[in-house]
Amino acid sequence: MPDFSFAHWQEWCAAYKLDVAGRVLLYLLIALLLSRAVASVLRRLPHLPATVQLLLRRIINAVIWMLCSLQALQELGINLMSALGAAGVIGVAVGFAAQTSLSNLISGLFLMGERSLRLGDYIHVGSTEGSVEAINLLSIRIRCPDNSVVRIPCEMLIKNPVTNESHGERRRCDIVVGVEYGTDLRHLEEIAREVVETEPYLLDEPPMLMRFREFGDSSINLTLCAYCRNKDYYDTRYRFARALYEAFNREGISFAFPTRTLIRAAAKEPSSRR
């Protein structure tokens, strides 16, 4: 079996009388080829999520480049022990100054480890929402509906609730309606079920639900719930609302709106003086 150790490469370089610059370039070329080989191997593992593949590729590439760089520095005659000692002192100082970055780095490792987010997921983080475009060790990048790009530190994703709308194949469309007092609710529910049956983007299972919300000041407030495919949610929600509006108008079911009754008090006649 051929020997691929660094000592073997050093003997090979000496045998072919490569100068120092050539040996340094050779180590860098080896690092580049190994990095590309690792990326090619990981791409052939479809069972690994994209985030895990990215994490493994970065870790292995970092180890490869570190080892090859150390050998290249040794070829240049740099005392590695002194360099490592100076790097340790600098690392301590940088560590104190980069506590936030380290926190984001650890949070990013947790996110990639638990695989709660995937590329393409539509998420809500605080007041920001959009599709996940990139997952890095320090931050994630999401593209908002207005096509702007927002970078969110990984630490924020660990400390705050994150709503992932892309989890699961089905999603429920909730349409809130307020109808006038005196409306036949049984008839309203029948009309809503007919709309669900005729709308192709809505699913028959689970069946539609009609839930009571409250007796409002001017209306009876209800929630009509039907399920659709997750990828079609926004288009289906609009089509569902439009179909309900048209069906209610056709059947004479009126949407309520706030009303006010003003009563004008009669002016009192001034009392006669005695």
Closest Cα partner for 244 from 183, 176, 184, 181? 176
**pLDDT value of position 95:** 56
What's the rounded Cα separation, in Å, for the pair 157 and 126? Answer: 10
User: What are the distances in angstroms from CA 179 to CA 18, 174, 221, 234, 243?
Assistant: 87, 16, 7, 24, 16
Determine the pLDDT at residue 85.
57
- Residue of 84, 96, 79, 230 whose CA lies nearest to 165: 230
For residue 135, the cross-strand partners are 140
Three-class DSSP category at 167: coil
- What gap in Å lies between CA 25 and CA 45, rounded to an integer? 31
Helix 20-43 to helix 50-75 angle, to the nearest 10 degrees?
170
Structure-token match 């809500």, residue found: 124
Q: Which CATH architecture has domain 170-251?
A: 2-Layer Sandwich (3.30)
Q: What is the pLDDT of residue 164?
A: 83
Distance of CA 201 to the CA centre of its chain: 25
Predicted confidence at residue 132, as pLDDT, reads 87
pTM above 0.85, yes or no: no
Question: In the numeric block, which tokens belong to residue 263?
Answer: 């009563």
Give CA–CA dist 242/52, Å, rounded: 42
**Phi/psi of residue 148, each to 5°?**
-80, 155
Q: Provide the CATH number for the domain formed by 6-97 in this structure.
A: 1.10.287
Q: Is 168 left (phi over 0), alpha (psi -120 to 50) or beta?
A: left
pLDDT in tens, the chain (274 residues): 455 555 555 555 555 445 666 777 777 787 788 878 877 777 777 666 666 666 677 777 777 777 777 777 776 666 665 555 555 655 555 555 456 666 767 777 777 667 778 888 888 888 888 888 888 777 888 888 888 889 888 888 888 888 888 777 888 888 999 998 988 899 999 999 999 888 888 888 888 889 999 998 888 999 999 998 888 888 888 999 999 999 999 988 888 877 777 777 765 666 555 5
* pLDDT on residue 242: 92
> Does CATH place domain 114-164 in 3.40.50.720?
no
The rounded distance, in Å, linking the Cα atoms of 220 and 209 is: 16
Q: Give the pLDDT score at 258.
A: 76
Provide the residue ranges of all domains of the chain, joining segments of one domain with +: 6-97, 114-164, 170-251
Residue 245's pLDDT is: 92
Write the CB contacts of 245 (distance below 8 Å, at least 6 apart in sequence). none
Q: Distance between CA atoms of 224 and 214, rounded to whole angstroms?
A: 13
Please spell the DSSP secondary structure of 64-121, one letter per residue.
HHHHHHHHHHHHTT--HHHHHHHHHHHHHHHHHHTHHHHHHHHHHHHHHHHT---TT-
pLDDT at 16: 44
Q: pLDDT at position 138, please?
A: 79
